[in-house]
Structure 1
Amino acid sequence: MNYLIIEGYKSAAVNFAQEANMSPQVDLDSIQERVDIRHAIHHGDIQTAIERINELHPDLLETNLPLHFSLLRLQLIELIRNCTQSPDGDISEALAFATTHLAPRAPGNSKFLQDLERTMALLCFPMENLAPPLAELMDPALRRQVAAKVNEALLEVQGVSKEAKIRRLVRLRAWAEQRMKSERREMPNMDLGLDVASQTSDDAMGA
Protein backbone atom coordinates (compact mmCIF):
# COMPACT_ATOMS: atom_id res chain seq x y z
CA MET A 1 0.00 0.00 0.00
CA ASN A 2 2.82 2.36 0.91
CA TYR A 3 4.49 1.81 -2.48
CA LEU A 4 1.27 2.20 -4.46
CA ILE A 5 0.42 5.48 -2.73
CA ILE A 6 3.88 7.01 -3.14
CA GLU A 7 4.25 5.94 -6.77
CA GLY A 8 0.76 7.19 -7.64
CA TYR A 9 -1.11 4.00 -8.53
CA LYS A 10 -4.55 5.08 -7.36
CA SER A 11 -6.63 2.27 -8.87
CA ALA A 12 -4.26 -0.38 -7.58
CA ALA A 13 -4.26 1.26 -4.13
CA VAL A 14 -8.07 1.28 -4.03
CA ASN A 15 -8.27 -2.39 -5.05
CA PHE A 16 -5.53 -3.35 -2.61
CA ALA A 17 -7.30 -1.56 0.26
CA GLN A 18 -10.58 -3.31 -0.54
CA GLU A 19 -9.07 -6.77 -0.89
CA ALA A 20 -6.89 -6.40 2.22
CA ASN A 21 -9.74 -4.80 4.19
CA MET A 22 -7.54 -1.95 5.32
CA SER A 23 -7.79 1.83 5.37
CA PRO A 24 -5.52 3.81 3.02
CA GLN A 25 -2.83 5.94 4.64
CA VAL A 26 -3.92 9.08 2.80
CA ASP A 27 -6.87 10.55 0.95
CA LEU A 28 -6.88 8.58 -2.29
CA ASP A 29 -7.96 11.66 -4.25
CA SER A 30 -4.60 13.21 -3.40
CA ILE A 31 -2.93 10.39 -5.34
CA GLN A 32 -4.68 11.39 -8.55
CA GLU A 33 -3.80 15.03 -7.95
CA ARG A 34 -0.12 14.15 -7.75
CA VAL A 35 -0.40 11.95 -10.83
CA ASP A 36 -2.01 14.78 -12.83
CA ILE A 37 0.78 17.16 -11.85
CA ARG A 38 3.42 14.59 -12.75
CA HIS A 39 1.82 13.94 -16.15
CA ALA A 40 1.74 17.67 -16.87
CA ILE A 41 5.47 17.95 -16.14
CA HIS A 42 6.27 14.86 -18.19
CA HIS A 43 4.48 16.43 -21.16
CA GLY A 44 6.23 19.79 -20.77
CA ASP A 45 3.12 21.66 -19.55
CA ILE A 46 4.92 23.28 -16.64
CA GLN A 47 2.53 26.20 -16.26
CA THR A 48 -0.37 23.84 -15.62
CA ALA A 49 1.72 21.91 -13.10
CA ILE A 50 2.62 25.10 -11.21
CA GLU A 51 -1.00 26.23 -11.15
CA ARG A 52 -2.17 22.86 -9.81
CA ILE A 53 0.51 22.89 -7.12
CA ASN A 54 -0.53 26.38 -6.04
CA GLU A 55 -4.17 25.32 -5.90
CA LEU A 56 -3.38 22.35 -3.68
CA HIS A 57 -0.69 23.90 -1.47
CA PRO A 58 -0.38 27.68 -1.98
CA ASP A 59 2.66 27.97 0.29
CA LEU A 60 4.69 25.10 -1.08
CA LEU A 61 6.55 26.90 -3.87
CA GLU A 62 6.90 30.05 -1.81
CA THR A 63 8.74 28.16 0.90
CA ASN A 64 10.60 25.67 -1.31
CA LEU A 65 12.61 28.07 -3.46
CA PRO A 66 14.88 25.44 -5.11
CA LEU A 67 11.84 23.46 -6.26
CA HIS A 68 10.14 26.60 -7.59
CA PHE A 69 13.29 27.61 -9.45
CA SER A 70 13.62 24.11 -10.94
CA LEU A 71 10.06 24.32 -12.27
CA LEU A 72 10.57 27.81 -13.69
CA ARG A 73 13.83 26.81 -15.34
CA LEU A 74 12.13 23.78 -16.86
CA GLN A 75 9.38 26.07 -18.14
CA LEU A 76 12.06 28.25 -19.73
CA ILE A 77 13.62 25.18 -21.34
CA GLU A 78 10.24 24.25 -22.83
CA LEU A 79 9.90 27.76 -24.25
CA ILE A 80 13.36 27.50 -25.76
CA ARG A 81 12.51 24.06 -27.14
CA ASN A 82 9.43 25.49 -28.86
CA CYS A 83 11.09 28.58 -30.29
CA THR A 84 14.12 26.71 -31.66
CA GLN A 85 12.14 24.09 -33.56
CA SER A 86 12.35 26.27 -36.67
CA PRO A 87 15.23 28.45 -37.96
CA ASP A 88 13.02 31.54 -37.77
CA GLY A 89 11.71 30.85 -34.27
CA ASP A 90 11.00 33.89 -32.11
CA ILE A 91 13.04 33.78 -28.89
CA SER A 92 11.46 36.92 -27.44
CA GLU A 93 9.01 34.96 -25.28
CA ALA A 94 11.80 32.88 -23.76
CA LEU A 95 13.91 36.00 -23.11
CA ALA A 96 10.98 37.81 -21.52
CA PHE A 97 10.19 34.82 -19.30
CA ALA A 98 13.80 34.51 -18.16
CA THR A 99 14.00 38.23 -17.44
CA THR A 100 10.75 38.32 -15.48
CA HIS A 101 10.71 35.05 -13.57
CA LEU A 102 14.27 33.75 -13.29
CA ALA A 103 16.72 36.64 -13.44
CA PRO A 104 15.45 38.27 -10.21
CA ARG A 105 15.94 34.99 -8.30
CA ALA A 106 19.43 34.15 -9.55
CA PRO A 107 21.80 36.84 -8.20
CA GLY A 108 21.39 35.81 -4.57
CA ASN A 109 22.04 32.13 -5.23
CA SER A 110 25.15 30.93 -7.05
CA LYS A 111 23.53 27.64 -8.13
CA PHE A 112 20.47 29.42 -9.48
CA LEU A 113 22.74 31.78 -11.43
CA GLN A 114 24.81 28.93 -12.85
CA ASP A 115 21.69 26.99 -13.87
CA LEU A 116 20.18 30.06 -15.52
CA GLU A 117 23.38 30.87 -17.45
CA ARG A 118 23.63 27.30 -18.70
CA THR A 119 19.98 27.34 -19.75
CA MET A 120 20.33 30.62 -21.63
CA ALA A 121 23.33 29.15 -23.48
CA LEU A 122 20.83 26.93 -25.31
CA LEU A 123 19.94 29.97 -27.40
CA CYS A 124 23.51 30.35 -28.60
CA PHE A 125 24.05 26.95 -30.20
CA PRO A 126 22.18 24.80 -32.74
CA MET A 127 20.03 22.15 -31.09
CA GLU A 128 21.50 19.37 -33.24
CA ASN A 129 25.04 20.09 -32.05
CA LEU A 130 24.82 20.80 -28.34
CA ALA A 131 27.64 19.97 -25.95
CA PRO A 132 26.71 17.17 -23.49
CA PRO A 133 26.04 19.54 -20.53
CA LEU A 134 23.55 21.48 -22.64
CA ALA A 135 22.07 18.43 -24.33
CA GLU A 136 21.14 17.14 -20.87
CA LEU A 137 18.79 20.10 -20.45
CA MET A 138 16.83 19.10 -23.54
CA ASP A 139 16.62 15.45 -22.53
CA PRO A 140 13.15 14.32 -21.32
CA ALA A 141 14.96 12.80 -18.33
CA LEU A 142 15.12 16.30 -16.82
CA ARG A 143 11.32 16.46 -16.83
CA ARG A 144 11.21 13.18 -14.93
CA GLN A 145 13.77 14.42 -12.41
CA VAL A 146 11.80 17.58 -11.68
CA ALA A 147 8.53 15.62 -11.54
CA ALA A 148 10.09 13.29 -8.97
CA LYS A 149 11.16 16.26 -6.82
CA VAL A 150 7.66 17.71 -7.01
CA ASN A 151 6.13 14.37 -6.05
CA GLU A 152 8.44 14.13 -3.02
CA ALA A 153 7.59 17.67 -1.93
CA LEU A 154 3.85 17.01 -2.20
CA LEU A 155 4.19 13.80 -0.21
CA GLU A 156 6.12 15.62 2.51
CA VAL A 157 3.40 18.26 2.78
CA GLN A 158 0.83 15.48 3.12
CA GLY A 159 2.85 13.85 5.90
CA VAL A 160 3.77 10.80 3.83
CA SER A 161 7.30 9.43 3.49
CA LYS A 162 8.74 10.57 0.16
CA GLU A 163 10.26 7.16 -0.50
CA ALA A 164 8.49 3.82 -0.50
CA LYS A 165 9.60 1.56 2.35
CA ILE A 166 10.02 -1.33 -0.07
CA ARG A 167 12.74 0.61 -1.92
CA ARG A 168 14.72 0.94 1.31
CA LEU A 169 14.35 -2.79 1.88
CA VAL A 170 15.64 -3.53 -1.62
CA ARG A 171 18.66 -1.29 -1.04
CA LEU A 172 19.29 -2.97 2.31
CA ARG A 173 19.16 -6.37 0.64
CA ALA A 174 21.63 -5.21 -2.06
CA TRP A 175 23.95 -3.80 0.59
CA ALA A 176 23.83 -7.08 2.53
CA GLU A 177 24.63 -9.08 -0.60
CA GLN A 178 27.57 -6.81 -1.41
CA ARG A 179 28.85 -7.09 2.16
CA MET A 180 28.63 -10.87 2.10
CA LYS A 181 30.49 -10.99 -1.22
CA SER A 182 33.24 -8.73 0.08
CA GLU A 183 33.66 -11.11 3.02
CA ARG A 184 33.48 -14.09 0.65
CA ARG A 185 30.51 -15.52 2.44
CA GLU A 186 27.37 -16.98 0.93
CA MET A 187 24.11 -15.10 1.27
CA PRO A 188 21.66 -17.15 3.33
CA ASN A 189 18.61 -18.38 1.47
CA MET A 190 15.59 -16.40 2.65
CA ASP A 191 12.34 -17.91 1.39
CA LEU A 192 9.78 -15.11 1.38
CA GLY A 193 7.10 -17.25 -0.25
CA LEU A 194 7.20 -15.19 -3.43
CA ASP A 195 8.26 -17.94 -5.81
CA VAL A 196 4.97 -18.44 -7.64
CA ALA A 197 6.32 -21.20 -9.87
CA SER A 198 7.54 -23.15 -6.87
CA GLN A 199 4.25 -22.73 -5.04
CA THR A 200 2.31 -23.88 -8.08
CA SER A 201 4.51 -26.93 -8.36
CA ASP A 202 4.11 -27.76 -4.68
CA ASP A 203 0.35 -27.36 -4.90
CA ALA A 204 0.22 -29.68 -7.88
CA MET A 205 2.26 -32.31 -6.08
CA GLY A 206 0.04 -32.03 -3.03
CA ALA A 207 -3.04 -32.53 -5.18
Structure 2
Amino acid sequence: MSFENPTNNGNNQEEHKHGKPEGYQISRTDMNMLIMNYLVTEGFKEAALKFQQEAGLQEPALCSSLDERILIREAVQNGRIPEAIAMVNSLHPELLDNDRFLYFHLQQLQLLELIRAGRAEEALAFASATLAEAGANDRAALAELERSLALLAFPDPHSSPFADLLLPAHGQKIASELNAAILKMENQEYTNPKLCSLLRMILWSQSELDKHNVKYPKMTDLANATIEQPK
Protein backbone atom coordinates (compact mmCIF):
# COMPACT_ATOMS: atom_id res chain seq x y z
CA MET A 1 0.00 0.00 0.00
CA SER A 2 1.46 3.33 -1.02
CA PHE A 3 0.75 6.70 0.51
CA GLU A 4 2.86 8.85 -1.79
CA ASN A 5 1.59 12.22 -2.91
CA PRO A 6 0.17 12.18 -6.44
CA THR A 7 2.51 13.96 -8.85
CA ASN A 8 1.40 16.80 -11.07
CA ASN A 9 3.78 16.36 -13.98
CA GLY A 10 1.47 16.95 -16.90
CA ASN A 11 -0.96 14.19 -16.06
CA ASN A 12 -3.96 16.50 -15.72
CA GLN A 13 -5.14 15.79 -19.25
CA GLU A 14 -4.80 12.05 -18.67
CA GLU A 15 -6.72 12.27 -15.37
CA HIS A 16 -9.50 14.21 -17.06
CA LYS A 17 -9.66 11.58 -19.80
CA HIS A 18 -10.25 8.87 -17.20
CA GLY A 19 -12.83 10.87 -15.29
CA LYS A 20 -10.65 12.07 -12.43
CA PRO A 21 -9.97 15.76 -13.09
CA GLU A 22 -7.55 17.52 -10.81
CA GLY A 23 -10.29 19.68 -9.33
CA TYR A 24 -11.84 16.65 -7.66
CA GLN A 25 -8.70 15.38 -5.94
CA ILE A 26 -8.86 15.10 -2.16
CA SER A 27 -5.70 15.82 -0.22
CA ARG A 28 -3.69 12.87 1.01
CA THR A 29 -3.95 14.15 4.60
CA ASP A 30 -7.75 14.35 4.48
CA MET A 31 -8.02 10.90 2.89
CA ASN A 32 -5.69 9.38 5.48
CA MET A 33 -7.73 10.87 8.30
CA LEU A 34 -10.94 9.47 6.80
CA ILE A 35 -9.35 6.02 6.59
CA MET A 36 -8.04 6.27 10.16
CA ASN A 37 -11.46 7.33 11.41
CA TYR A 38 -13.00 4.32 9.66
CA LEU A 39 -10.52 1.86 11.17
CA VAL A 40 -10.83 3.20 14.71
CA THR A 41 -14.62 3.59 14.63
CA GLU A 42 -15.17 0.11 13.20
CA GLY A 43 -12.76 -1.44 15.71
CA PHE A 44 -9.84 -2.49 13.50
CA LYS A 45 -7.13 -1.74 16.06
CA GLU A 46 -4.15 -3.52 14.49
CA ALA A 47 -4.94 -2.11 11.06
CA ALA A 48 -5.29 1.40 12.55
CA LEU A 49 -1.91 1.21 14.29
CA LYS A 50 -0.19 -0.17 11.18
CA PHE A 51 -1.82 2.46 8.98
CA GLN A 52 -0.73 5.15 11.44
CA GLN A 53 2.90 4.04 11.10
CA GLU A 54 2.87 3.67 7.32
CA ALA A 55 1.02 6.94 6.67
CA GLY A 56 3.08 8.90 9.22
CA LEU A 57 0.06 10.01 11.25
CA GLN A 58 -0.14 10.80 14.91
CA GLU A 59 -1.05 7.84 17.09
CA PRO A 60 -4.84 7.47 16.90
CA ALA A 61 -7.05 8.15 19.90
CA LEU A 62 -8.39 4.69 20.69
CA CYS A 63 -11.73 4.34 22.47
CA SER A 64 -11.67 2.69 25.88
CA SER A 65 -13.90 -0.14 24.68
CA LEU A 66 -11.94 -0.84 21.50
CA ASP A 67 -10.55 -4.20 22.60
CA GLU A 68 -13.99 -5.36 23.74
CA ARG A 69 -15.57 -4.15 20.49
CA ILE A 70 -12.98 -6.11 18.51
CA LEU A 71 -13.84 -9.33 20.36
CA ILE A 72 -17.57 -8.72 19.96
CA ARG A 73 -17.21 -8.04 16.23
CA GLU A 74 -15.16 -11.19 15.75
CA ALA A 75 -17.74 -13.26 17.63
CA VAL A 76 -20.61 -11.90 15.53
CA GLN A 77 -18.83 -12.36 12.21
CA ASN A 78 -17.76 -15.89 13.14
CA GLY A 79 -21.30 -16.90 14.07
CA ARG A 80 -20.70 -17.13 17.84
CA ILE A 81 -23.80 -15.12 18.62
CA PRO A 82 -24.52 -16.26 22.23
CA GLU A 83 -20.90 -15.39 23.09
CA ALA A 84 -21.26 -11.96 21.47
CA ILE A 85 -24.51 -11.28 23.34
CA ALA A 86 -22.89 -12.28 26.64
CA MET A 87 -19.98 -9.88 26.01
CA VAL A 88 -22.35 -7.04 25.13
CA ASN A 89 -24.37 -7.66 28.29
CA SER A 90 -21.18 -7.62 30.34
CA LEU A 91 -20.00 -4.37 28.74
CA HIS A 92 -23.36 -2.55 28.64
CA PRO A 93 -26.12 -4.59 30.37
CA GLU A 94 -28.88 -2.20 29.31
CA LEU A 95 -27.97 -1.91 25.62
CA LEU A 96 -29.92 -4.85 24.20
CA ASP A 97 -32.81 -4.29 26.59
CA ASN A 98 -33.20 -0.77 25.22
CA ASP A 99 -32.62 -1.66 21.57
CA ARG A 100 -34.91 -4.61 20.91
CA PHE A 101 -34.55 -4.49 17.12
CA LEU A 102 -30.77 -4.82 17.43
CA TYR A 103 -31.30 -7.75 19.79
CA PHE A 104 -33.64 -9.26 17.22
CA HIS A 105 -30.95 -8.91 14.56
CA LEU A 106 -28.47 -10.78 16.73
CA GLN A 107 -30.98 -13.55 17.41
CA GLN A 108 -31.75 -13.66 13.70
CA LEU A 109 -28.05 -14.31 13.06
CA GLN A 110 -28.21 -17.18 15.55
CA LEU A 111 -31.18 -18.59 13.63
CA LEU A 112 -29.26 -18.27 10.36
CA GLU A 113 -26.34 -20.18 11.85
CA LEU A 114 -28.67 -23.08 12.65
CA ILE A 115 -30.04 -22.99 9.11
CA ARG A 116 -26.52 -22.81 7.67
CA ALA A 117 -25.63 -25.93 9.63
CA GLY A 118 -28.67 -27.79 8.28
CA ARG A 119 -30.31 -28.05 11.72
CA ALA A 120 -33.85 -27.33 10.49
CA GLU A 121 -35.77 -28.63 13.51
CA GLU A 122 -33.60 -26.66 15.93
CA ALA A 123 -34.00 -23.59 13.74
CA LEU A 124 -37.79 -23.84 13.80
CA ALA A 125 -37.85 -24.42 17.56
CA PHE A 126 -35.50 -21.47 18.14
CA ALA A 127 -37.59 -19.19 15.92
CA SER A 128 -40.79 -20.18 17.71
CA ALA A 129 -39.37 -19.77 21.20
CA THR A 130 -37.19 -16.71 20.68
CA LEU A 131 -38.17 -14.69 17.61
CA ALA A 132 -41.94 -15.18 17.27
CA GLU A 133 -42.78 -12.44 19.79
CA ALA A 134 -40.59 -9.89 17.99
CA GLY A 135 -42.26 -10.80 14.70
CA ALA A 136 -45.71 -10.39 16.21
CA ASN A 137 -44.92 -6.91 17.53
CA ASP A 138 -42.91 -5.47 14.66
CA ARG A 139 -43.72 -5.72 10.95
CA ALA A 140 -40.11 -5.15 9.95
CA ALA A 141 -38.97 -7.96 12.24
CA LEU A 142 -41.72 -10.22 10.90
CA ALA A 143 -40.61 -9.62 7.32
CA GLU A 144 -37.01 -10.45 8.18
CA LEU A 145 -38.07 -13.53 10.14
CA GLU A 146 -40.13 -14.76 7.20
CA ARG A 147 -37.20 -14.30 4.82
CA SER A 148 -34.95 -16.23 7.21
CA LEU A 149 -37.35 -19.14 7.62
CA ALA A 150 -37.98 -19.24 3.87
CA LEU A 151 -34.43 -20.57 3.52
CA LEU A 152 -35.67 -23.85 4.99
CA ALA A 153 -37.91 -24.40 1.99
CA PHE A 154 -34.91 -24.91 -0.31
CA PRO A 155 -32.70 -28.02 -0.48
CA ASP A 156 -29.72 -25.69 -0.86
CA PRO A 157 -30.37 -22.42 1.00
CA HIS A 158 -27.25 -20.90 -0.58
CA SER A 159 -28.97 -21.12 -3.99
CA SER A 160 -32.28 -19.63 -2.81
CA PRO A 161 -33.58 -16.09 -3.47
CA PHE A 162 -32.77 -15.31 0.18
CA ALA A 163 -29.16 -16.49 0.06
CA ASP A 164 -27.94 -12.95 0.80
CA LEU A 165 -28.80 -13.61 4.46
CA LEU A 166 -26.11 -16.30 4.57
CA LEU A 167 -23.37 -14.16 3.04
CA PRO A 168 -20.59 -12.76 5.26
CA ALA A 169 -21.73 -9.26 4.31
CA HIS A 170 -24.97 -9.73 6.28
CA GLY A 171 -23.10 -10.64 9.46
CA GLN A 172 -20.72 -7.73 8.90
CA LYS A 173 -23.67 -5.36 8.59
CA ILE A 174 -25.11 -6.47 11.93
CA ALA A 175 -21.66 -6.33 13.52
CA SER A 176 -21.33 -2.70 12.40
CA GLU A 177 -24.83 -1.94 13.66
CA LEU A 178 -23.90 -3.36 17.06
CA ASN A 179 -20.57 -1.53 17.07
CA ALA A 180 -22.35 1.79 16.43
CA ALA A 181 -24.80 1.07 19.27
CA ILE A 182 -21.93 0.47 21.69
CA LEU A 183 -20.26 3.74 20.68
CA LYS A 184 -23.57 5.55 21.15
CA MET A 185 -23.87 4.11 24.66
CA GLU A 186 -20.44 5.52 25.42
CA ASN A 187 -21.41 8.97 24.12
CA GLN A 188 -18.79 8.87 21.39
CA GLU A 189 -18.95 11.78 18.95
CA TYR A 190 -19.06 9.47 15.95
CA THR A 191 -20.90 6.15 15.99
CA ASN A 192 -20.45 5.54 12.27
CA PRO A 193 -17.34 6.13 10.15
CA LYS A 194 -17.18 9.55 8.49
CA LEU A 195 -16.25 7.84 5.22
CA CYS A 196 -19.52 5.86 5.18
CA SER A 197 -21.53 8.99 5.93
CA LEU A 198 -19.74 10.83 3.14
CA LEU A 199 -20.50 8.07 0.62
CA ARG A 200 -24.15 7.99 1.64
CA MET A 201 -24.31 11.77 1.19
CA ILE A 202 -22.79 11.48 -2.29
CA LEU A 203 -25.31 8.81 -3.31
CA TRP A 204 -28.23 10.81 -1.91
CA SER A 205 -27.07 14.03 -3.57
CA GLN A 206 -26.63 12.34 -6.93
CA SER A 207 -30.05 10.74 -6.65
CA GLU A 208 -31.68 14.11 -5.96
CA LEU A 209 -29.84 15.73 -8.89
CA ASP A 210 -30.89 12.88 -11.19
CA LYS A 211 -34.54 13.34 -10.19
CA HIS A 212 -34.36 16.94 -11.39
CA ASN A 213 -32.43 16.08 -14.57
CA VAL A 214 -29.50 18.23 -13.49
CA LYS A 215 -26.27 17.68 -15.40
CA TYR A 216 -23.23 17.38 -13.15
CA PRO A 217 -19.95 15.45 -12.82
CA LYS A 218 -21.25 12.11 -11.54
CA MET A 219 -19.29 9.59 -9.51
CA THR A 220 -20.07 6.35 -11.33
CA ASP A 221 -17.64 4.07 -9.49
CA LEU A 222 -17.34 4.68 -5.74
CA ALA A 223 -14.56 2.13 -5.27
CA ASN A 224 -12.27 3.91 -7.74
CA ALA A 225 -13.74 7.42 -7.39
CA THR A 226 -14.39 7.54 -11.13
CA ILE A 227 -16.19 10.72 -12.18
CA GLU A 228 -18.11 10.93 -15.43
CA GLN A 229 -18.40 14.35 -16.96
CA PRO A 230 -21.88 15.55 -18.06
CA LYS A 231 -22.67 15.16 -21.76
Structure 1 residue matching 2:136: 3-state secondary structure? coil
**Aligned with 1:139 (options 164, 167, 175):** 167
Pairs within 5 Å for 1:81-92: 81-82=116-117, 84=118, 90-92=119-121
Q: Structure 1 residues 128, 171: CA separation in 2 closer, same or farther (over 3 Å shift)?
A: closer
Distance 1:70 1:183 in 2: 39
Structure 1 counterpart of 2:45, which letter? K
Q: 1:171 to 1:101 in 2, by over 3 A?
A: closer
1:42-83 superposed Cα distances (whole Å, 9 cap, x missing partner)? 11111111111111111111111111111101100101111x
Task: Within 5 Å, give how 1:45-84 maps onto structure 2.
Answer: 45-82=80-117, 84=118
Tell me: CA distance 1:60–1:128, structure 2 relative to 1, closer, same or farther (3 Å).
closer
Show the counterpart of 2:32.
Answer: none
Aligned pair partner of 1:42 in 74, 77, 86: 77
Distance across 1 between alignment mates of 2:48 and 2:115: 38
CA RMSD of aligned residues (A): 3.0
CA distance in 2, matches of 1:8, 1:41: 13
Q: Of the two, which has the highest radius of gyration?
A: 1
* Equivalent residue, structure 2, for 1:31: 66
Runs of at least 5 residues in structure 2 that lack an aligned partner in the other structure: 1-35, 218-231
Tell whether the 8 Å contact from 2:158 to 2:166 is kept in structure 1 after alignment: no
**Residues 31/97 of structure 1: CA separation in 2 closer, same or farther (3 Å cut):** same
1:91, CA displacement in angstroms?
2.6
TM-score normalized with structure 1 length: 0.69
Percent of aligned pairs sharing the same letter: 37
TM-score (norm 2): 0.62
1:164-184 per-residue CA deviation (whole Å, 9 max, x = no partner) reads 3355567778979xx9x9457
Structure 1 residue 111: Cα displacement: 1.3
Q: Which runs of 5+ in 1 are unaligned?
A: 85-89, 185-207
Q: Are 2:89 and 2:96, in contact at CA under 8 Å, matched by a contact in 1?
A: yes
SS in 2 for 1:159: coil
1:148 matched to 2:183: no
Q: Give the Cα separation in 1 of the matches to 2:156 and 2:178.
A: 27
Q: Per the alignment, in what secondary structure is the counterpart of residue 107 of structure 1?
A: helix
CA distance in 2: counterparts of 1:141 and 1:66, whole angstroms: 19
Distance 1:172 1:128 in 2: 35
